[in-house]
Amino acid sequence: MTHKIQIQSSGHEFTANENETVLAAALRQGVTLAYSCRNGDCGTCKGRIIAGQVDYGKYEAKAMSNEERGAGAALFCQAVPLSDLVIEAREISAAEGIPIRIMPCRVMKLDRLAPDVMQLSLKLAEGQRLQFLAGQYIDILLSGNKRRSFSLATAPHADELLQLHVRHVPGGLFSEQVFTTMKERDLLRFQGPLGTFFLREDSDVQGSTNAGRSQHPASRGISTSMYVTGDRKSGAAADRPVILVAGGTGFAPIKSILDHAFAQGTTRPLHLYWGVRAQRDLYLHDLPQAWAREHAHFRYTPVLSEPLSEDHWSGRTGWVHEAVIADHPDLSRHEVYASGPPPMIEALKKAVIAHGLPNDRLYYDSFEHAHASASGAG
């Protein structure tokens, strides 16, 4: 049995098969709803049921409260329709027209960036390319119907090799292989691109209206800078200062976003905070330092939470979200993009909202949740 689903604001319709979640059905039919983890952990895909009934599935309490559920909210990555539905959901127009594909690739290089971080460089078959937005991720497909997700550190304009930053999780299903037995020329398969973590304007998120639909990235490059694809008349969103916060290997999608933004010639003020434990964890420290020298509108602030004595660190210390607030006590004019482990994301969310950031200008990729399957991390 199939059920029809209508998005109230845009009128877009799609159908869900039996036992298929709202999100899976939407993506299968080219309708891109906001999402990240697909595990009921992060809350990015949360929307509202206007009419109809769903099986809410399993999810983390912090992703949706009982009060929200009682008011009609649902996590579309978990909700399975039990009838036809009318929903209220965020549609991401910049990702429309980009197909999600399963593709073979070959390991071309393995570069150890830090004791526990490997850069995996993948090459597609001759004549193939992956169309994606800077900040999206792919799922590495493993045996036994398992998968592991990793953000693309590569920018779309420089995609000869697709680069992933893999942190070693002892005993991890995939990362253990990367650090022990994987070798150059090995074959892998992946599905992607996935996720809706990328820079955008307000008008790129379709809510109550369908105004400002983006142009689709049709070839190698994205047609507009920083995926600034919506209403250019007011210029308000295009001029907003952007704060980007990376935790650990959450730097990978931020690197992709910034690489592409610089290539597209953006002049928006950009401030990157990279939070790690010790200096050795700033595994590409020289890169954002070079960006800061080359781009007057870009600032870089590394923050160490547990610097080692041998680091002789004279820079910022403590929690990265505290550094953000200390530098930007009024965030009412900003946009914030964050990628990192769930504790960092949760602390940052509370802090930036308390300091004036509108909810609809906070975008995040809760890294460990979004990048681990139900069977575990790694």
Q: Is 337 contained in some domain?
A: yes
Please identify, among 57, 89, 121, the residue that sits at the C-terminal boundary of a domain: 89
Q: Is 373 contained in some domain?
A: no
Residue 356 above 90 pLDDT? yes
pLDDT at 207: 38
pLDDT digits (tens, 9 = 90+) for 266-323: 999 999 999 999 999 999 999 999 999 999 999 999 999 999 999 999 999 999 999 9
Residue 260 above 70 pLDDT? yes
Give the relative orientation of helices 251-263 and 286-294 as an angle to the nearest 10 degrees.
30
Give the residue among 75, 132, 137, 138 at the shortest CA–CA distance from 104: 138
Q: Is 201 contained in some domain?
A: no
Query: For residues 210 and 233, what is the distance between their CA atoms, to the nearest angstrom?
Result: 16
Number of domains in the chain: 2
Q: Is 149 contained in some domain?
A: no
Read off the tokens for 102: 């399963």
Q: Is 322 contained in some domain?
A: yes
Please identify, among 89, 107, 130, the residue that sits at the C-terminal boundary of a domain: 89
Q: Is 26 contained in some domain?
A: yes
The boundaries of the domain holding residue 270 are 221-367
In the chain, the amino acid numbered 208 is: S
Alpha helices in 32-104 (DSSP H): 66-70
pLDDT digits (tens, 9 = 90+) for 91-150: 887 777 788 999 999 999 999 999 999 999 999 999 899 999 999 999 999 999 999 999
Q: Is 66 contained in some domain?
A: yes
Query: For residues 62 and 104, what is the distance between their CA atoms, to the nearest angstrom?
Result: 36
**pLDDT-derived band of residue 203, with 50, 70 and 90 as boundaries?**
very low
Give the residue among 146, 168, 158, 137 at the shortest CA–CA distance from 44: 137
Q: Is 153 contained in some domain?
A: no
Read off the tokens for 311: 């680091």
Give the largest CA-CA distance in the chain.
64
pLDDT at 377: 52
For position 13, which CATH number holds? 3.10.20.30
For position 339, which CATH number holds? 3.40.50.80
Please identify, among 38, 65, 89, the residue that sits at the C-terminal boundary of a domain: 89
Say if residues 161 and 247 touch (Cβ distance below 8 Å): no
pLDDT at 239: 81
